Amino acid sequence: MAFIPSSLPPDGGLPGGRATPGFPAPGIRPAFPRPWRRHRLGAMTDALIIGGGSGMGLALARTLLAEHLDVTIAGRSADRLAAARAALEPAAAAPGSAAARRIRTLRADIGREEDVAELFDAVGPVEHVVVTAADVTGAYGRSADITAAAARSVLDVKLLGAWLVGKYAAGRVTGSLTYTSGINAYRPNGSNTIVAAANGALASLASGLTLELAPVRVNVVSPGWVDTPVWDRLGMDKRAAFADLAERLPARRIGTPEDIAQAFLSVLRNGFVTGTVLHVDGGHRLV
């Protein structure tokens, strides 16, 4: 078995002055920066959050502002965008200050290619993109009771929209692209089939884009049950459902938007994480 040194000389050479494969010869400075140097901890500058008007996306925006990033939030609802901006401005600075101008909102429906193209034209080069957008209206129930229109809406935003973001991110995103999946991709329950299918497909999409967009990093964060406003639109007794599940989860509680925001932040910060699904579900996949 060949001996592998535990460390390399600073110039990248092997002992004896031999060049290491993939590195310049000893004493010769590389003509380009090594890719991992572009992802130093704390060096992040800006982010685009698609679907950041509420819930997990809004919590992430607040977290990134606290980390001194410039944040652009994109979404379909003008009302939610306005409410998000109003909620975030105190976290950045008083309205009208230089810090408050670090928050920008743009309307876009990522299920429409022209909207995605215009969004990236408006944003310009950006370090990180996170997609939390989803449309699950009318998509929960037995398949026999779900309309094709409702299923198409899920796929248009969650899968086609995610792919369109990857398409137009090429050449514009410099750091990372992160999607949001969900526990139903791994624990379907018979009443969320189309949502589970769309979420499950994101892992394959991210794997392909990891190779296609490299060295830009592409990952997926997969939350478990999280207490967000989307539950209020599903017409169910969420408190009873939360209490029942919390008793069975190893974490013994339901997730918060802030839990997921911290997971996103860890993925954005770590320059060696790519092609990965990060599960943040309180152990839900185990029960």
Q: Which CATH number fits the domain that encloses residue 117?
A: 3.40.50.720
pLDDT at 95: 53
pLDDT at 101: 55
Residue 256 to residues 65, 259, 261, Cα–Cα distance (Å)? 18, 5, 9
Q: By C-alpha distance, which of 133, 128, 193, 192 is closest to 160?
A: 133
pLDDT at 100: 54
pTM (2 decimals)? Answer: 0.82
pLDDT at 99: 53
Residue 201 to residues 72, 76, 132, 178, 188, Cα–Cα distance (Å)? 26, 23, 15, 14, 14
In a domain, 122, yes or no: yes
pLDDT at 13: 43
In a domain, 229, yes or no: yes
In a domain, 109, yes or no: yes
Preceding amide of 90 cis, omega within 30: no
In a domain, 67, yes or no: yes
pLDDT at 139: 81
Number of domains in the chain: 1
273 alpha-carbon distance from chain centroid:
13
Residue range(s) defining the domain that contains residue 152:
43-281
Tokens representing 172 are 């514009």
- What is the phi/psi pair of residue 218, to 5°? -125, 125
In a domain, 156, yes or no: yes
Q: Which residues are paired to 179 by β-bridges?
A: 131, 220
- The helix (run of H) or strand (run of E) holding residue 213 is helix 193-213
pLDDT at 136: 86
In a domain, 187, yes or no: yes
Q: Which residues are paired to 160 by β-bridges?
A: none
Q: Which residues contact 261 (CB under 8 A, 6 or more apart)?
A: 56, 59, 60, 62, 63
Q: Are 285 and 279 in contact (CB under 8 A)?
A: yes
In a domain, 121, yes or no: yes
In a domain, 94, yes or no: yes
pLDDT at 111: 96
Spans of the chain below 50 pLDDT = 1-15, 17, 19-24, 26-41, 94
Give CA–CA dist 62/52, Å, rounded.
10
pLDDT at 102: 87
